[in-house]
Amino acid sequence: MTPVTRVKCSSAALAAALLLGLAAPAASAHAPGRSPARDGHRIPFTAATVTDHADGTSTVAWTAPGARTVTVRSEGRTVARGGASGSVTVPTGAAADRHWFDLVPDRGTPLRLADRLIRLQGTVNFRDAGGYRTRDGQWVRMGEVYRSDALDRLTDADLAKLRRLGVRTVLDLRMESERAAAPDRVPAGATHVVADVLAGSGTFTAMPESPAEAEAMMVEGNRFMVGGATAKAAYATVLDEIADGDGVLFHCTAGKDRTGWAEAALLTALGVPEETVMADYLASGTYRAAADEAVLSHLPPDRAAVYKPLLDVRPQYLNASFDRVGEEFGSFRAYLRKGVDLDAHELRTLQRRLLVG
């Protein structure tokens, strides 16, 4: 069987990967893959990102080896032209729900992108699951699958925005106590599905007494997300819903751990490199920084030190999940098949739906 290896990447390398659009490295044996598309039909971009700014502008950056020119289009008009690599900041305003850009190379297939972060009044970690490059040069389609923190504080304007974005299914990964304390608000017409990951775990039944105990709790919780019976059932539901239709949103409370493994499993199944998966996981720390600091600032220093590991996203947490995959299933493909009931046909369906290029 193909072994599952730990992801090792420095903070600087991860930051650089995020800024450069998370270009895929050479092929790895970690995850199920697809045969490369023919060169004439492939998307030539090895890195591309869109970043919206508070001043009503967006920065589009790209690298497309082999292309001579790249035309950047938005809302049907050309906003910039450049060479095989470039970066341009253009005015976009604040009216649109999302600012979409088409990157059109002179050879190969265009790429459609928007900023991954979707700004809502009631969340801090609502993101598009797509916009990442796979090992074989395809890209995960944006605007199809979303991930988030808790939805109980969504405003009416937020709900209207999610409806316009096409959210049709909301998967709630939280425990019963969390759902009772903070019931989801979902867009009109959307289906709400409970997929309780930790229902069978005793990991989070008591507060830890030290930072080391808190970190150990997080590691054990992430291992349960792979091997626990309720977790396997929950993630089987997540992948099944994503394979069956578009407009799927999955979330937990912070949008980083249970949601983080749902995203990691999805991206790995699609052939996204481990380094990219890790960078996406750790990005929750950036998006949640202000909210987490607000929590910690109201605690006595000794309690804040204990609580901080519970708020953090750390490489060892996600690696604990991948370690459990290797220990229990031997390979990620076996985890998909035996752990979350995603057979080869369903995997191909998922890939056909969500990959472009």
Q: Which residues are catalytic?
A: 252
DSSP 39: G
Q: How far apart are CA 110 and CA 108, in angstroms?
A: 7
Would you state the torsion angle of the CA atoms of residues 312, 316, 318, 321, taken in this order, to the nearest 10 degrees?
-130
Length of the chain: 357
Q: Which residues make Cβ contacts (< 8 Å) with residue 195, sequence separation at least 6?
A: 171, 172, 173, 233, 234, 235, 237, 238, 250
Residue whose C-alpha is closest to residue 255's, from 165, 190, 304, 184: 184
Angle 274-287/11-19 helices, nearest 10 degrees? 90
Describe the strand order of the beta sheet including 47-52 as a list of residue ranges.
47-52, 57-63, 85-91
Amino acid at 109: T
